[in-house]
Structure 1
């Protein structure tokens, strides 16, 4: 027997011992998240919480993936995704450019929502804002979009230190326009006489991006199938109710 034979045998035995662990190891899902983005992704007592945290963990469990949460700021996380250092990004961490990614099905549908004083039935859509006073800070992207809609009668905009919600509640403004998630949370947490008026002004679906590489597409399919299962069994809707104040997982 040559001197090398015992070494080869030992290596083979070592591989046999290690192989079950390799075979059974779960593939990972590296997810970029913002560290302070309540109610989507945030830490409390060093524990990750929030709607997207619950979604990602549940999707990973259903898909058989080991989830690794990677905190950072939007710009840094997008760069990491484009370099292949992350598999996906929580949507609120910033969407990846479409030319570099494909996306799962949406898991929530949000967008600008009109909020009015409870009992005010004059406003049910964007055209009803004509001739009205809207509490909205000028110069913001939403103000620029709304101001470009050629609403008959025009819209008067005001902002004040007391906040847009209180301006509407006391009657100094007829309406405010904010993201639907924020609108639902506002109504749930503040004892103000406000309610949602009409449908979203436009829809902003939120999805998980994955790279266009074969590995990225394989992960996307697994996560997308998991999201479908979470929708069908009601888990996703319950998560939305818990964190966002209503079920906005379907459009």
Structure 2
């Protein structure tokens, strides 16, 4: 009986104190960050959030939905954060509190293979350009000095297909995802020039007391994952490179 009591006491002491479920929203359609293969949700973001939960003693619970609905779900309290390469912007900082960035990337123009008319962002004048609905890339295009000369189309999906088929002239996505899409897709695509804007991606939380508390706990875990190399290994596994620190 004493032995049983000792085992029970040890088990209680080793359980995480105040463990919570972190409800994570993601699209499940943004390879290689979050996607479904063989009925399994996987990718950089899934490994990243599971590593955070292991560090904090919480449980990560994933929900997938259209990318354009993720921010609304966070605002409504249906999820606690969004792990889908959410870029820090002044507009979003006015609504949410963010962790430190965990991915540093750049906005990239992608065109049909063999298209020599577009060699970078400057050549988008007079062109039709696709972006994912709800992403920050539409805003980045609208901030260009020649934005009035660009026709922007927003898509839930298939921007690479319509670009390859000539329905739009180009699409804009982050450079890491663009390179992965080109490598994995049967569509004839190529990068056009260099990234034209640095982007910093982080996890948003609601700006209330519970949201800030969860943000602080998750942010501390991100620091540990950077220090012990876990975040770098996740990046190299899914992206073939370490994009978890700013370019030197």
With normalisation by structure 1, the TM-score equals: 0.62
CA distance in 1, matches of 2:53, 2:216: 12
How far did residue 62 of structure 1 move?
1.7
SS in 2 for 1:57: helix
Aligned to 1:197: 193
SS in 1 for 2:61: strand
SS in 2 for 1:136: strand
Aligned to 1:179: 173
CA distance in 2, matches of 1:144, 1:100: 17
Q: Which shows bigger deviation, 236-245 or 18-27?
A: 18-27
Greater radius of gyration (CA)? 1
Residues 21 and 211 (structure 1), Cα distance of their counterparts in 2 relative to 1, 3 Å cut: farther
How far did residue 106 of structure 1 move?
1.4
SS in 2 for 1:114: strand
Give yes or no for the alignment of 1:56 onto 2:52: no
1:71-115 deviations in Å (ceiling 9; x for gaps): 444566545533444322223589895344211011123442135
SS in 2 for 1:91: coil
Aligned to 1:37: 29
Q: How does 1:149-164 map to 2 (within 5 A)?
A: 149-150=144-145, 163-164=162-163
Aligned to 1:14: none
Across the aligned residues of Structure 1 and Structure 2, the Cα RMSD in angstroms comes to 4.7
What is the count of residue pairs matched by the alignment?
Answer: 225
CA distance in 1, matches of 2:236, 2:110: 19
Would the aligned equivalents of 2:25 and 2:62 in 1 still touch at CA under 8 Å? yes
CA distance in 2, matches of 1:54, 1:235: 10
Q: How does 1:58-73 map to 2 (within 5 A)?
A: 58-73=51-66
CA distance in 2, matches of 1:70, 1:162: 26
How far did residue 70 of structure 1 move?
3.2
Q: Which runs of 5+ in 1 are unaligned?
A: 1-16, 168-172
1:197-228 deviations in Å (ceiling 9; x for gaps): 223x2233221112333332232122112222
Give yes or no for the alignment of 1:250 onto 2:245: yes
How far did residue 179 of structure 1 move?
1.0
With normalisation by structure 2, the TM-score equals: 0.63
CA distance in 1, matches of 2:128, 2:26: 28
Q: Which shows bigger deviation, 40-49 or 68-77?
A: 68-77
Structure 2 residue corresponding to 1:234, chosen from 229, 243, 246? 229
How far did residue 52 of structure 1 move?
0.7
Would the aligned equivalents of 2:108 and 2:191 in 1 still touch at CA under 8 Å? no
